[in-house]
């Protein structure tokens, strides 16, 4: 289970951000959506903060928990960088918009694509984004990695959430469809490292994060 922010931990944030994060977290819970833990949220802000000012369009968040994820990304991104949220459910997108508004982020910094990720990722500009966060079903891991890789600028990073399936990927006795799909994606990530010099990190956070940086 992902950990929620405690009151003490939230004191590091401005008041408006704290209230917005609480709202987004409650929205995620009420909609049955799993949002990132404390440590992953902080990691997202840190990675977003490495975005060079004026050299990319910012970040893409492919996740039903766009409110929580987006707040952390916006917190780290430079002031002129934008965030693109992709999610097919209108209700979840509406909740994210309200969270960003509550955190006092201008509407001009965000855009929302209400569609299946793989249907619209091809419309985004190549080499234009510093960070892509993807929280999708395991059977879509490989396709989403393939679609996200061209979008990243040099030095940009792809974050694949829950990609290690809480450790079951390394369990040789598991042969179900989702586990096999996650293994296929992991092999594909390894090929990016071998063929293109990508830097890859696999972290045991939440369900397991795979972080791939383009060089």
Per-residue pLDDT, 3: 46
Q: What is the pLDDT of residues 152-165, one digit of tens each?
A: 999 999 999 999 99
Would residue 123 be called left, alpha or beta, if left means φ above 0 and alpha means ψ between -120 and 50 degrees?
Answer: alpha
Q: What global pTM score does this model have?
A: 0.93
Q: What is the pLDDT of residues 8-48, one digit of tens each?
A: 555 677 899 999 999 999 999 999 999 999 899 999 999 99
The CA distance from 161 to 9, in Å, is: 22
Sheet with 152-160, edge to edge strand ranges: 110-113, 82-86, 58-62, 129-134, 152-160, 209-213, 199-203
Burial of 194 (0-12, 13-18, 19+ CB in 10 A): exposed
Q: Which domains does the chain have, with CATH numbers?
A: 7-213 (3.40.50.150)
**Paired residues of 160 in beta bridges:** 134, 210
């Amino acid at each position: 289970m992902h950990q929620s922010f405690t009151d003490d931990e939230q004191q590091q944030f401005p008041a408006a951000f704290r209230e917005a994060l609480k709202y987004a977290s409650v929205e995620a819970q009420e909609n049955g959506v799993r949002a990132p833990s404390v440590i992953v949220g902080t990691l997202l802000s840190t990675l977003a903060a490495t975005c060079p000012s004026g050299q990319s369009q910012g970040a893409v968040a492919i996740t039903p928990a766009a409110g929580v994820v987006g707040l952390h990304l916006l917190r780290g991104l430079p002031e002129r960088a934008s965030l693109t949220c992709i999610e097919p459910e209108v209700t979840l997108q509406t909740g994210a918009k309200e969270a960003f508004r509550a955190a006092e982020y201008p509407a001009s910094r965000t855009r929302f694509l209400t569609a299946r990720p793989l249907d619209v990722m091809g419309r985004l500009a190549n080499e234009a984004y510093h960070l892509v966060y993807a929280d999708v079903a395991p059977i879509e891991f490989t396709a989403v990695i393939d679609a996200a890789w061209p979008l990243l600028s040099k030095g940009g990073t792809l974050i694949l959430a829950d990609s290690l399936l809480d450790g079951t990927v390394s369990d040789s006795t598991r042969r179900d469809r989702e586990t096999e799909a996650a293994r296929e994606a992991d092999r594909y990530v390894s090929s990016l490292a071998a063929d293109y010099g990508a830097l890859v990190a696999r972290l045991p956070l939440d369900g397991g994060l795979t972080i791939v940086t383009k060089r």
